[in-house]
A = this chain, B = another copy of it.
């Protein structure tokens, strides 16, 4: 009998990515098709099912070899029942995704939120390979996260575990309000959005910085300026790194993971950023919880979602 294969689906507002993995999480083949979000929920569900069958066919494997199908999707989910209660960028409301796919694909289907799924991908087959307990941060427009203990996603009572962007970490005196309505969330300083805001504030304040001459500041502009020696930019990047490292110190004494994995656009700043994060992490974490604990970049990039979704089949 041939080796089993695992199908992962990463559902976005514009496109749906599907992939086929082997039992070790190696990505054998991928396919990407349009979500057709404007054509309504029936079409989205039908596309997911069609692309899943297609990618297996393209891999040259038979559908019988598929052990199961996992789906990662942004939104408010009823995970055990695989129902999409609502989604910020998809035309799905109380959509019975799991039931639909099980009926149309004839396989066991697992659904989880995109941030958890990306974390599982890294833990299973990326920067956390072979590590039982790891914590993933994704530094993008916001700050996402996922917690993996004993190789499995920690979902939490309301499926709100791993919401690392909403760790309340900035002290009241210097906190601003987060999109979630609370004050001082990590996301307000350590996301690309937070970095851009701090840079624009500095320019508006008249701080002496090369960023004053940049028309539409991006997080990469700020990191590049910091690397080039711009002190204002360096202070901003350091503040993002400081609160990220401090939030990791808290996570470390709560669950003591073996590895922290950091991905997303901002993490492309590389060792320049990672060195600052590690320094703060070690400063605030008791040795028992920091000893031999690694802080490393994510490895899978945009594939983490598809790989992690396939991983749901083995790790649910």
Contact = CB atoms under 8 A, between A and B. Distances in A.
A2 interface: no
Main secondary structure of the interface of A (DSSP, over half): loop
A23 interface: no
A238 interface: no
Nearest to A293: B157
Number of copies: 2
A288 interface: yes
Contacts of A171: 171, 173
Contact of A249 (B168, B249, B286): B168
Interface string A273-291: 0000000000111101101
Contacts of A160: 252-253, 256, 286, 288-289
Interface stretch (A41-49, A180-188, A190-198, A199-207): A180-188
Given A171-B171, A246-B168, A250-B169, A157 B256 contact: yes
A156 interface: yes
Interface string A133-158: 10000000000000101000011111
A157 B286 contact: no
A163 B157 CA distance: 21
Contacts of A284: 168, 182-184
Contacts of A157: 132-133, 256-258, 292-293
Interface of A: 132-133, 147, 149, 154-164, 166-169, 171, 173, 180-185, 246-247, 249-258, 283-286, 288-289, 291-293
Q: Which 6 A-B pairs have the closest CB atoms?
A: A156-B256, A171-B171, A157-B258, A160-B289, A160-B288, A168-B284
